Amino acid sequence: MTTKEIAIRNIQDLPEDATWEDIQERINFISGIRKGLRELDEGKGISHEEIKEEFKEWLSN
């Protein structure tokens, strides 16, 4: 599925009274998800264990 097709499908899933802001928010959300998936495919992700350690540090501060 192309980027354009994904955008159209997601816009069509919004309610009929969706605002421009709603559309922009949905597109930004989908774009962020796709970017994250690409980064994971490129090995740029952070492991679950690393996140757990960072989270522990945040909670202890």
Give me the pLDDT at residue 47, please: 86
Q: How far is CA 33 from the centre of its chain?
A: 2
The string of DSSP codes covering 1-60 is --HHHHHHHHHHTS-TT--HHHHHHHHHHHHHHHHHHHHHHTT----HHHHHHHHHHHHH
Give me the pLDDT at residue 17, please: 98
Give me the pLDDT at residue 28, please: 97
Residue 20, classed as helix, strand or coil, is helix
Write the pLDDT tens digit of every residue in 6-51: 999 999 999 999 999 999 999 999 999 999 999 999 999 888 899 9
Q: Which amino acid is at 7?
A: A
Give me the pLDDT at residue 33, please: 95
**61: confidence class by pLDDT, cuts 50, 70, 90:** confident
